[in-house]
Amino acid sequence: MVCCPLNQIYRRRSKYGPGCHSGRSEESRSEYFSKQCKIPRYARNDSLEGTDHGQRTTDKVMRKILSPAVHLFVTLAWMIVAFWMIFVYAPQEATMGEVQRIFYIHVSSAWTAFLAYFLVFVGSVGYLWEHSPGADLLAQAAGEVGFVFCSVVLVTGPLWAKPVWGIWWTWDARLTLTFVLWLLFVSYLMLRSYVSSPGRAATLAAVVGIIGFVDVPIDYMAIRWWRTQHPQPVIAGGEGSGLDPRMFLTFIVCVGAFHCLFSYLLIQRLRLARARRELSAIRRALAIRPSED
Amino acid sequence: MQSLKIISAIFVKDLRVEWRNRETLGSMCVFGILVVFLFNFAFEPGREESLRLLPGLLWISFAFAGVLCFNRSFAGERENACLEGMAVAPVDPGLIYLGKMLANLLFLGIAEGVIVFAAGLWYNFSFVPSLRWFTLITFLGTVGYVAVGTTFGAIAANTHMREVMLPVLQFPVAVPVLIAGIEASTGALKGDPPSSYAGWIKLEAGFAVIFTVLSYLLFEYVLEE
């Protein structure tokens, strides 16, 4: 954990005993220290204190199971199985042929992108509700990872459409909506990078995240009335819809694999952001450390 | 009663500022007219075509004029730390939002009047037969557009790429209101029965209500420093 250097700082701080030169008492110095350097809660090392031994062992086991390495392994294995099923196991579609296989990737990414936008909304509401940095990190991470998946949808869609519809792009309802969602991701991420103060960026981004999320269903209604050309839902659609059982299984495995990949990327992004915040807290703490004259 | 006083204080202040420098309205009208003017070169529409293209053209110039308006609305407040003054004022921030929004609504409404007049003149199109419905459609659409625009204007004022940030935030969110405005205006200007485009008018109204309420609630966070 990155907490260790912080502990060292604390320890070093306690070295300034009553005999330090500045004349400030130990208490006032530590008060000054804790006021000046707002160390995020997760960066403090008090979470493990006070827990009994049994709890700690369970924690260890859980942490091992949920460790990034295990997560990565599961994700990779699942993705390999999913791709094997897409290209080998699933039968060829009767009218569209091989190109239909892109459907598994396309739809899985689309679901993931919508889930990501939902998480942006959840994080945004959480941040405005109680100003917890964790909620903001979640919104930011979901925004970035969701943007990637939304881009995958926009790339795989035209690849499929050209041979099947004969055109790369059409302003059909779902295509337009996905494009609008992509633009919402872009504007959300742009806003975050254009506000210099991190606290302001988090608040403003949360407002934009909420407005954007409320906008999506209205967009969907408007665009749907406007025009519809996209294939109707094949799963739980109307009559005549439905998939070959093998196709359905492939689809389910693929959706699972993409969600696993999504969660892996999301957690890695969260860990990175967390480490960055801890690093900057430590830097601040070191910068304001009273000089040992 | 107290809230009305606060709203009108902000509203009147914005009108007074505009009266003294006359920057926003002038630039909005000129910009909107320029869009209509350039459109003429892009398509060279005949009588039939102009009827088909006119609603889209009008709403696009409304949209661009609006972005100018929202940018100016809060850019001016950054000078002399007026935005901070608003943030610390002991009033409900939502009321400040409503005052600002009403001022923007008035400015954009006036600019739209000028744009519609110019477009009618240049494309030899009479808006008089469908004026009532067209006014209602434009009004509702503009309320929704201004509702999100005012909030995004305040948000964009905090960024160092204000001019770019505002349209990037505004246009994707305003897609439903633009589609509804264009579709309903097309119906109204063609002289279709109102029932054929009533759905779009309802969508505009719903959008306006939802985003006015949402912005009213969220504006507190936009203002806080």
Contact criterion met (CB below 8 Å) for B157 and B77 = yes
Per-residue pLDDT, A19: 39
* Residue-wise pLDDT tens digits, A51-84: 456 667 767 776 766 778 888 888 898 889 888 8
Radius of gyration of chain A (CA): 25
**At residue B210, what are phi and psi to the nearest 5 degrees?**
-60, -50
pLDDT tier at A24, thresholds 50, 70, 90: very low
Q: Indicate whether A236 belongs to any domain.
A: yes
Asked if the Cβ–Cβ distance from B155 to A204 is below 8 Å, we say yes
pLDDT for the residue A90:
77
> Over the stretch A83-136, which tens digit does the pLDDT of each residue have?
888 888 877 776 777 778 888 888 899 999 999 999 999 999 999 998 888 899
DSSP H or E run through A73: helix A68-84
In this complex, do B158 and A200 lie within 8 Å of one another by their Cβ atoms? Answer: yes
Question: Do A107 and A22 share a structural domain?
Answer: no
- In whole angstroms, give the CA distance from residue B63 to residue B108: 9
Rounded mean pLDDT of B60-65? 93
Between A69-78, B101-110, B214-223, the lowest mean confidence (pLDDT) is in A69-78
**Judgement on whether residues A45 and A175 belong to the same structural domain of the protein:** no
For residues A182 and A196, give the distance between their C-alpha atoms in angstroms, rounded to a whole number: 24
Domain of A118 in residue numbering reads as 68-275
Domain boundaries, chain B: 2-223
Q: According to the model, what pLDDT value does residue A21 have?
A: 41
Q: Is the pLDDT of residue B60 over 90?
A: yes
Quick check: B191 and B130 in contact, CB under 8 A? yes
Chain B contact set for A221 (CB, 8 A): 176, 203
Average pLDDT value for chain A: 76
Kindly report the nearest CA distance between residue A146 and chain B, in angstroms: 17
pLDDT in tens, B109-131: 999 999 999 988 888 778 888 88
Total count of domains within chain A: 2
Distance CA A69, CA A61 (A): 14
Phi/psi at B55 (5° precision)? -60, -45
Q: How confident is the model at residue A227 (pLDDT cuts 50, 70, 90)?
A: low
Whether A98 and A20 map to the same domain: the answer is no
Residues A36 and A120 in one domain: no
Distance of residue B20 Cα from the nearest chain A Cα, in angstroms: 31
Q: Does one domain contain both A220 and A241?
A: yes
Distance from CA of A167 to the nearest CA of B (A): 23
A285, part of any domain: no
Q: Do A203 and B175 touch (CB under 8 A)?
A: no
Q: How far is CA A292 from CA A6, A9, B100, in A?
A: 18, 14, 54
pLDDT greater than 80 at residue A5 = no
Confidence of residue A241 (pLDDT cuts 50, 70, 90): low
